[in-house]
Amino acid sequence: MERIAVFAGSFDPFTLGHLDIVKRAAALFDELWIVLAVNASKKNMFSESDRLTFINMSVAGIPNVKVTSYDGLTVDFMKSVGSKFLVRGVRGAMDVEYEQSIAWNNRTLYPECETVIFSSASEHLSLSSSVVRELLKAGVSDTVDGRELLSNYVHVEVIPLLLKISR
């Protein structure tokens, strides 16, 4: 039986913390879908297309990872690809509490859904997409220092595009 997992989120943008979870989950599952959750009511800094590009650039070279977007319930996507595992990452106690409530709701909607929670690596505890967005809004520049700062948060291949789009 193939073990297929789904890792869903808005990924605005996809960070090194997300990438760490992907690498660890990809080692445990036969197939891992990264699902860019499309939510029309949520205001994102980056377009769906840009976010998919960032994700694809970041996970290039991980052979069992697939990337797509989906406009619907994550459990419905899981059913469509035959997944029973939902991957989530947590940084602290507040994240755990939130993820627990989501896991309960997902089990109600899809009883076969098992949420697999990965604790953030210590070097990623303070890393978030919102920090990256704030740095970009504050005008982090396309200088060596700016690129070096962003390399602590996002995959180095993504930085030039991230800087170009955020201007």
Residue with token string 């200088």: 143
Residue 42 falls in the annotated catalytic set:
yes
Candidate list 24, 84, 91, 147, residue with the active-site label: 91
User: What DSSP character marks residue 141?
Assistant: -
Evaluate if residue 163 carries a pLDDT over 80. yes
The pLDDT of residue 65 is 98
| Whether residue 13 has a cis bond before it, omega within 30° of 0 | yes
pLDDT, residue 82, reads 98
Q: Of 18, 51, 88, 155, which residue is the catalytic one?
A: 18
Q: Is 124 a catalytic site residue? A: no
What pLDDT does residue 39 have?
Answer: 81
User: Three-state SS for 165?
Assistant: helix
Structure tokens at 136: 């970009």
This prediction has a pTM of: 0.94
pLDDT surpassing 80 at residue 40? no
Higher pLDDT, 42 or 159: 159
> Which listed residue (51, 124, 129, 155) is catalytic?
129
85 in Cβ contact with 110 (< 8 Å): no
137: annotated active-site residue: no
Annotated active-site residue 164? The verdict is no
